Amino acid sequence: MAGAAPIFDEMTLADGAVRPAYETLARWLQSIPPDLLATRSREAEALFRRIGITFAVYGDAASTERLIPFDVIPRVLTSDEWGRLSKGLTQRVRAINAFLGDVYSKREILRAGIVPEDLVYRNPAFRPEMNQQPVPHGIYVMIAGIDIVRVDGDTFYVLEDNARTPSGVSYMLENREVMIRLFPELFSAHRVAPVENYTDDLLATMQSVAPRSASSDPTCVLLTPGLFNSAYYEHTFLADKLGVELVEGRDLFVKADVVYMRTTEGPKRVDVIYRRLDDDFLDPLVFRPDSALGVPGLMSAYHAGNVTLANAVGTGVADDKAVYSYMPEIVKFYLGEEPILKNVPTWRCREADELKYVLERLPELVVKEVHGSGGYGMLIGPKATSAEIETFREKLIADPANFIAQPTLALSTCPTLVEEGVAPRHVDLRPFVLTGRDKVRIVPGGLTRVALKEGSLVVNSSQGGGTKDTWVLDS
Amino acid sequence: MRIRIAHETVYSYAVPAHAVIQTLRLTPRNYEGQHILNWRIDVDQDARLDAHEDAFGNITHTFSCAGPIQTLTVRVDGLVETSDTAGVVRGAVERFPPGLYLRETALSAADPAIRSFAEARERPGDRLSTLHALLDDLARDMTFDKDPTHASTTAAEAFALRRGVCQDFAHVFIAAARHLGIPARYVGGYFLHADGTVDQEAGHAWAEAHVPDLGWVGFDAANGLCPTEQHIRIACGLDYLNAAPIRGSRHGGEGEFLTVKVMVDQALRQVQVQ
């Protein structure tokens, strides 16, 4: 499955045949005037600029706020493909929630020796403060973003679980809105499953996990770190669509283990906090004492069961890349089922024989930092210079437990508008999985990210990737 | 031994605060060698103390009060019966297996200097001797000095200075022990001075390390000894931040001034009347 495998294009098979999902789209691409896509692309950019949708890239001093490139050619999935994916996603997030409930209470999976104890206890994302502390309705991850890649007609892999504060859903929603405005004719030619009910689903999910002591009409808020956060635009966007207050830590206070919001009409009790603020900053009385972004006393109210945090505190221990490698076992352990979605084969460098294997094959592997995210701090062997490989080799030997390695996957490609015209580019997919007390909700599709550089496998927006609208066709 | 404790913390504000919220870890629990006869916490503002048990098994009280607050006093009075257990902690509330206490924290991370200090004192196969070597040499090499360090000084910083208060001694000990793969944790409490000094400026802190067959054993590096009946154990955690007697935050107000008075004295034994 290494570099030699043929690359699967989601529109056109190796023999030139168009896959059924793309039949109408392919015909349309053939029929349009050559400059139409470029024109629409400029219009799309103008629309995004007007909406004000931007994204901050850390370490890019020249432009702290910029547009994520948007590709006007949609990615298409059939309802069969989506059906399988959505079953697998539901299963995966159920297992993640069961794992979190266990590592913060009975720790059966550690006792059973399935996940090594130190991988949990010494994991920076594990929060000892959550030990033996119940969370409302036992749900830890209400909002998950599961990154999926595809390698052939049948095989989808989970590349990464995001169980902390996954972002990107605003792009999914905006991309669809812009596409409907730019290509109404394409929407009348396809039965595309809607995504705009995402925010209704999110609100229903949040309301369903309100503490038992809350009223039947619980008050939800969105807690943001503020203007300087890279996803601030998304926070304002979601609060607006949800119809809830966008608050910063200083807008909330805790009295007698209850959280209140300061309003012009006096204090108002808050029941559910969709927090886009990292654990470390949530409460200076429990976590970083120098945090001015959090709410002093929040954890005390949380432990008293008077407020729900979505997601719960300490969920990062489930999306750690080293814990990821145990996900197939985690699914089996808690659900007694075979995993529907596969994991990418992963070598754990913490294990001596696996480290040896990885060191021998660095030029063909992808090596990632266990706690890294956003495509920072990784080595893509086939694309790296020998000097880069040697530098990475030293890092690996110095701290093997900090790394995992995976084969370089032949990610699927989708037709994408680039300077030379329409060409295949590698993509991934981040569906958003909402877990409420009543049920799991997933809007069909998700955010497709595309690596705009020819041959590039890095789709992260922080690394210059773009996005596409994702269509799930109703059968 | 019967020990009486009075611990008063007074916050005063040049510009009154609008609101104050605090979490107190000021309530000891019983275990072998420590029995609480009487314990009370008073806050001189109109506030309800909400009691919880934290993740490490410590008893916490959180309260909030609304201003204007000119001064705020938190007062603890207690009477505790102790006995010597040679530093071995038995019957304490344990919420984690020892392995958790290998976790590194910012305050207790070992730097190269602490690592080589620790490695030079490792007695392979004899954990207890290793820990005693760490204890003796830290007590010898580090000087008690309350000037150069503060609440957020790290183990590495204090060790570089070879100076600090009991909190710093404890952090360095913990960092060294964990580096050798020995689970170690921070303990906050009180200490009755043998020389008859009653009035103190702060509580006390030491470390506990896990030894197979014995369990948790205390190591008081600032005093160069294992805890005796003169130690009152209040709270434990990975480092100071998990066990701090008071963690608070205020809204509004300026010019905070803090005074702490701790009195630890031997109480006269009362004759038991049946």
Position of tokens 């080293």?
Answer: A322
CA distances in angstroms from B263 to B5, B59, B203, listed in the order given:
6, 21, 9
Specify the DSSP element, H or E, that contains B137. Answer: helix B127-141
* Residues 65-84, chain A, touching B (beta carbon < 8 A): none
**Chain A residue with the nearest C-alpha to that of B178:** A122
| A375 contacts chain B (CB < 8 A) | no
Least confident interval from A43-57, A386-400, B53-67, B166-180? A43-57
Q: Measured between CA atoms, how close is B67 to chain A, in angstroms?
A: 13
* Residues 108-167, chain B, touching A (beta carbon < 8 A): 152
SS3 state at B76 = strand
Sign of CA dihedral A173, A177, A183, A188: positive
At A87-136, the pLDDT tens digits run 999 999 999 999 999 999 999 999 999 999 999 999 999 999 999 999 99
Task: Decide which of A194 and A50 is more confident.
Answer: A194
* Contact state of B103 with A255 under an 8 Å Cβ cutoff: no
Q: Which of A107, A121, A300 sits opposite B23 (nearest CB)?
A: A300
What amino acid is encoded at A437 in this protein?
Answer: R
Residue A177 dihedral angles phi and psi, to the nearest 5°: -60, -45
* Contact state of A131 with B95 under an 8 Å Cβ cutoff: yes
Q: Which of B48, B95, B99 sits opposite A117 (nearest CB)?
A: B99
Least confident interval from A301-305, A451-455, B221-225? A451-455
> Which residues of chain B make contact with A254, given a CB cutoff of 8 A?
21, 64
pLDDT at A410: 87
| A43 contacts chain B (CB < 8 A) | no
The CA distance from A100 to A312, in Å, is: 10
The CA distance from A149 to A303, in Å, is: 38
Q: Which of B63, B102, B103 to probe the A interface (max A CBs under 10 A)?
A: B103
pLDDT over threshold 90, residue B100? yes
pLDDT at A371: 74
The CA distance from B93 to B31, in Å, is: 8
Report the mean per-residue pLDDT for chain B.
95
Q: How confident is the model at residue A1 (pLDDT cuts 50, 70, 90)?
A: very low
* Contact state of B64 with A130 under an 8 Å Cβ cutoff: no
* Contact state of A128 with B238 under an 8 Å Cβ cutoff: yes
> Which residues of chain A make contact with B60, given a CB cutoff of 8 A?
300
pLDDT over threshold 60, residue A63? no
The CA distance from A395 to A359, in Å, is: 11
List b or e across A188-216, with b for residues whose CB sees 16 or more CB atoms inside 10 angstroms.
Answer: eebebbebeebbebbbebbbbbbbeebee
Q: Measured between CA atoms, how close is B83 to chain A, in angstroms?
A: 31
Tokens matching residue B261: 């008075």
CA distances in angstroms from B116 to A25, A194, B124, B134, B160, listed in the order given:
66, 62, 15, 12, 13
Q: What is the mean pLDDT of residues A366-383?
A: 79
* Contact state of A285 with B249 under an 8 Å Cβ cutoff: yes
Q: What is the mean pLDDT of residues B87-93?
A: 95
| B241 contacts chain A (CB < 8 A) | yes
pLDDT over threshold 60, residue B237? yes
pLDDT over threshold 90, residue A377? no
pLDDT at A3: 45
Cβ proximity of B45 and B69 under 8 Å? yes
ipTM (interface predicted TM): 0.93
- What are the beta bridge partners of residue B232? B190
Tokens matching residue A292: 């001015």
At B8-28, the pLDDT tens digits run 999 999 999 999 999 999 999
SS3 state at A1 = coil
> Which residues of chain A make contact with B241, given a CB cutoff of 8 A?
289
SS3 state at A28 = helix
Cβ proximity of B64 and B47 under 8 Å? yes
pLDDT over threshold 60, residue A62? no
Position of tokens 């503002």?
Answer: B45
At A318-361, the pLDDT tens digits run 998 889 999 999 999 999 999 999 999 999 999 999 999 999 99
pLDDT over threshold 50, residue A2? no
At A257-266, the pLDDT tens digits run 999 999 999 9
At A406-428, the pLDDT tens digits run 998 889 999 999 988 999 999 99
Q: Measured between CA atoms, how close is A113 to chain B, in angstroms?
A: 14
SS3 state at A109 = helix
Residue A388 dihedral angles phi and psi, to the nearest 5°: -60, -40
Specify the DSSP element, H or E, that contains A331. Answer: helix A327-335
SS3 state at A151 = coil
Q: Measured between CA atoms, how close is A297 to chain B, in angstroms?
A: 7
| A280 contacts chain B (CB < 8 A) | no
* Contact state of A133 with B55 under an 8 Å Cβ cutoff: yes
- What are the beta bridge partners of residue B4? B79, B265
pLDDT at A205: 98
Q: What is the mean pLDDT of residues A233-246?
A: 96
> DSSP H helical segments within B142-266, as ranges?
155-161, 166-179, 240-243
Q: Which of A135, A286, A295 to probe the B interface (max B CBs under 10 A)?
A: A286
SS3 state at A296 = coil
